[in-house]
């Protein structure tokens, strides 16, 4: 079958005109690839994900965020990662694939595998972890599940897309150690382990080059080094230079607009600027994806909505993390009276805002789910705070306190309103709304049995932590998230979630605090490899809750850890075994985590790094042996001198436990490397990074030594610097620039037919504020490349020449 298909592709390509080949390398509209009817090449639909299917209804020529078909809204990535359960993530992927098949969608855009560099990133709810190994493993399972259904995925956003501020133009300055060890590693694991049908190139630049034009990222790393076999697709509107991007390894530009790029590409081949073989390879990959999807979608199928809702509830329950449970106040007794406080209990916060906004097939609330379990007479309710805004309403708090005083137990449902976590906008702080904090503080001062349930997509500060008895982090649990939380509160489900990110005490403690989000032109990754727990644990920084933390209603004992050998040489594997016993009286699941810690490295290294995890289910008294296999790569760092991974000979500690700071068993192994004689370059062993400072401050000179270059200017010096990639808002010293900004604002407002203060409206407002000039080609189907270049000339003061170019291309 494979040989027949290869011949079919080559036969089709041989019959195409140059213009037809070029046309296939860009989309038909916002959501479809181009078809060629005379050759029987179909069009395939791609839609937003990643935690549900956002298939837009209506016009495919533009994006309409508020209009999509009903679909199962599964927990967002932050909650799915907290399950640490590869099998469960695979099942969620399967379900997503089934829904795509019913809706005739060939590729779902996700998962997102970007690292959580800072808890402020406005899109962190859509990403898995601060750790690349965990992120890569979860992404791999997600992709495998979806693609088991014959539906494609799009691993995104490749790469170093770790903030929303100026995401379409910002230049991430990152050293090669951090780039390979932190920001590329998760993508590498997912690509090698699952072969997603597509990988999505990010908007931003990395070390001066746009991701969608980077031969290093797309060709050398993704395709040649990792062996990626699918297509590289641009993020929507991310492509700048069509010819340069195709040469770099980009295959498909999305969305499809009449921007003139097809003609530019065809002309480049006619002139000899590009070899036609480059185009043929891109077309071949696109055809393979299109025909795979066509084969799957030829069969009409339906999915079981009830089964998918039940799976969403299971995932939400397993992704919720019990952070604190003083005096075992949880689980609740069904016979006790409970005051349920907080407007979220009846109007849930269950997903993020932006392109991933799912129209749920149904929606549970915590109030109704608790009533189903305990009975209506057992649950009293008061809103406690207004759903919108940050203002404290004293009458609501008084009512909540009085309600709480009449009950045996208090459950406060708090968190971040949807306006706090929006694609395109980073958070400014880690605080809950003042109305939520005040409610918790006032009730906790009046009552002694208080449980706080949180709904948020990323870490928050908890000034009231010492005053409450239990905290359950529910994350953004999707349409069945409330049911998953209710199951845990009443002990129907034993909590087993573990944090996939560190919760800092305060924002100022985070390693990127002094350099995030940077701008207006660059952002400096001065913390290098010291991201998340790699920083906190290395410098001994106090945290609210450590990476990997999560409590259970039962207890677990770790015993009899063994290493297969005390020393290993090149190419040898190390097997680590440990026995884990459920020492409590309830069925429970434990996430067994393995970390590697080099004892005396020459290269600067974090104190310890996650290299393995397994989730095991244990009956009371049951014991299981957990096995891990480690190879040379697990002990390696990226040597910038040789441009490859190197294992440094020496002694390494093997740490096994329940979190990065809860080590239960340890051992040591002597590792001998075949590359131990290779020199370690100065930038890999800089004193400033060997002992990373607790305050996170790194001198500019040290950072320049690390990245092996001088820091580029971070501000615009004048209109002579303007290009089509310059944000329109930065051209406001030009009359035409100001007019264009107003025009773009009106166009974007038409896409959001709702409250101007809604999350989606705020996202689009941020887009207009930061969008580069080239974005006009994406959101105005009357605008092409020549017209935009004419506008740029006028903005730069060459008015008449620019006007002529604009009119000539109109």
| Sequence-separated (6 or more) residues with CB below 8 Å from residue 187 | 113, 136, 139, 155, 158, 159, 199, 222
- Three-state DSSP class for residue 470: strand
Please provide residue 214's backbone torsions phi and psi, each rounded to the nearest 5 degrees.
Answer: -95, 105
Query: How far apart, in Å, do the first and last CA atoms of the chain sit?
Result: 47
What's the distance, CA 581 to chain centroid?
A: 34
- Three-state DSSP class for residue 780: coil
- Return the biggest CA–CA distance within the chain: 83
Q: What is the 3-state secondary structure (H, E, C) of 428-461?
A: CCCCCCHHHHHHHHHHHHHCCCEEEEEECCCCCC
- Three-state DSSP class for residue 592: strand
What does the block give as tokens for 141? 């399972």
Please provide residue 627's backbone torsions phi and psi, each rounded to the nearest 5 degrees.
Answer: -115, 140
DSSP code for 630: E
Give the H/E segment covering residue 198.
strand 198-201
Distance CA 22, CA 3 (A): 25
Distance CA 402, CA 421 (A): 32
Active-site residue, selected from the candidate residues 48, 131, 235, 364: 235
What does the block give as tokens for 502? 């560190």
CB distance 467 to 324 below 8 Å: no
Residue 235 annotated in active site: yes
What does the block give as tokens for 764? 């689009």
Across 650-701, the runs of DSSP E, i.e. the strands, are 650-659, 662-671
What does the block give as tokens for 353? 């805002």
What does the block give as tokens for 795? 């903005």
**Which neighbouring-strand residues pair with 665?**
656
Distance CA 635, CA 637 (A): 7
CB distance 588 to 621 below 8 Å: no
Nearest Cα neighbor of 181 from 626, 636, 508 is 636
Return left, alpha or beta for 389; rule: phi > 0 is left, psi -120 to 50 is alpha, else beta: left
DSSP code for 142: H
Cis peptide before 687 (omega within 30 of 0): no
Give the H/E segment covering residue 294.
helix 276-297
- Three-state DSSP class for residue 707: helix
- Catalytic residue numbers? 235
């Amino acid at each position: 079958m494979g040989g027949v298909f290869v011949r079919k592709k080559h036969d089709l390509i041989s019959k195409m005109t140059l213009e037809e080949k070029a046309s296939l390398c860009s989309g038909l509209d916002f959501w479809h690839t181009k078809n060629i009817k005379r050759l029987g090449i179909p069009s395939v639909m791609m839609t937003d994900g990643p935690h549900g299917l956002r298939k837009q209804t209506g016009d495919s020529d533009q994006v309409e965020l508020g209009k999509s078909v009903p679909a199962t809204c599964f927990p967002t990535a932050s909650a799915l990662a907290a399950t640490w359960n590869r099998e469960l993530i695979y099942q969620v992927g399967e379900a997503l694939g089934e829904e795509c098949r019913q809706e005739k969608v060939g590729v779902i855009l996700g998962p997102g595998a970007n690292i959580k560099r800072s808890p402020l990133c406005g899109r962190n709810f859509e990403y898995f972890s601060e750790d690349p190994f965990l992120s890569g493993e979860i992404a791999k399972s997600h992709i495998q599940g979806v693609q088991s259904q014959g539906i494609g995925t799009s691993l995104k956003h490749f790469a170093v897309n770790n903030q929303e501020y100026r995401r379409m133009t910002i230049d991430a300055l990152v050293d090669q150690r951090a780039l390979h060890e932190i920001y590329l590693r998760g993508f590498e694991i997912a690509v090698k382990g699952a072969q997603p049908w597509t990988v999505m190139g990010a908007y931003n630049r990395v070390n001066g080059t746009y991701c969608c034009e980077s031969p290093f990222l797309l060709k050398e790393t993704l395709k040649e080094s990792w062996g990626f076999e699918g297509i590289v697709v641009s993020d929507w509107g991310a492509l700048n230079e069509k010819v340069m991007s195709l040469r770099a390894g980009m295959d498909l530009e999305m969305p499809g607009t009449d921007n003139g790029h097809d003609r530019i590409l065809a002309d480049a081949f006619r002139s000899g600027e590009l070899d036609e073989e480059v185009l043929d390879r891109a077309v071949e990959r696109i055809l393979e994806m299109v025909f795979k999807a066509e084969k799957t979608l030829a069969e009409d199928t339906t999915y079981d909505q009830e089964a998918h809702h039940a799976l969403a509830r299971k995932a939400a329950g397993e992704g919720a993390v019990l952070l604190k449970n003083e005096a075992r106040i949880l689980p609740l007794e069904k016979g006790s009276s409970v005051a349920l406080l907080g407007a979220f209990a009846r109007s849930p916060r269950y997903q993020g805002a932006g392109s991933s906004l799912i129209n749920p097939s149904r929606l549970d609330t915590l109030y109704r789910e608790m009533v189903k379990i305990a009975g209506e007479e057992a649950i009293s309710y008061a809103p406690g705070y207004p759903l919108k805004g940050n203002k404290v309403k004293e009458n609501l708090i008084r009512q909540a306190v009085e309600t709480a005083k009449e009950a045996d137990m208090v459950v406060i449902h708090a968190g971040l309103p949807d306006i706090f976590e929006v694609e395109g906008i980073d958070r400014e702080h880690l605080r809950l709304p003042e109305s939520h904090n005040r409610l918790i503080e006032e009730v906790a001062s009046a009552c002694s049995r208080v449980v706080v349930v949180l709904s948020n997509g990323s870490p928050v500060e908890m000034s009231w932590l010492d005053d409450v008895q239990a905290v359950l982090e529910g994350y953004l649990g999707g349409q069945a998230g409330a049911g998953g939380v209710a199951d845990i509160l009443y002990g129907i489900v034993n909590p087993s979630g573990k944090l996939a990110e560190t919760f800092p005490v305060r924002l100022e403690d985070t390693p990127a605090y002094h350099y995030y989000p940077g701008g207006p032109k660059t952002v400096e990754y001065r913390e290098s490899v010291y991201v998340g727990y790699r920083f906190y644990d290395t410098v001994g920084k106090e945290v609210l809750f450590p990476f990997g933390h999560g409590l259970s209603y039962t207890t677990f004992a770790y015993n009899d850890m063994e290493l297969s050998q005390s020393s290993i040489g090149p190419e040898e594997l190390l097997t680590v075994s440990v026995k884990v016993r459920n020492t409590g009286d309830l069925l429970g699941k434990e996430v067994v985590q393995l970390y590697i810690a080099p004892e005396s490295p020459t290269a600067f290294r974090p104190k310890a790094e996650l290299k393995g995890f397994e989730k095991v289910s244990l009956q009371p008294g049951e014991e299981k042996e957990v096995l891990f296999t480690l190879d040379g790569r697990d002990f390696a760092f990226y040597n910038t001198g040789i441009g490859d991974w190197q294992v440094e000979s020496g002694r390494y500690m093997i740490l096994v436990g329940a979190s990065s700071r809860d080590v239960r068993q340890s051992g040591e192994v002597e590792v001998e490397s075949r590359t131990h004689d290779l020199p370690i370059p100065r930038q890999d062993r800089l004193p400033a990074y060997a002992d990373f400072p607790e305050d996170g401050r790194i001198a500019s000179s040290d950072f320049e030594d690390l990245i092996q270059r001088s820091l580029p200017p971070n501000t615009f010096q004048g209109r002579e610097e303007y290009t089509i990639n310059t944000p329109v808002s930065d051209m406001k010293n030009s009359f035409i620039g100001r007019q264009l900004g107003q025009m773009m604002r009106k166009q974007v407002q038409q896409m959001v037919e709702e409250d101007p203060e809604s999350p989606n409206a705020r996202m689009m407002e941020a887009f207009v504020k930061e969008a580069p000039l080239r974005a006009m080609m994406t959101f105005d189907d009357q605008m092409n490349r020549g017209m935009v270049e004419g506008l740029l000339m006028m903005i730069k003061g060459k008015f008449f020449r620019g006007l002529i170019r604009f009119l000539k291309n109109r």
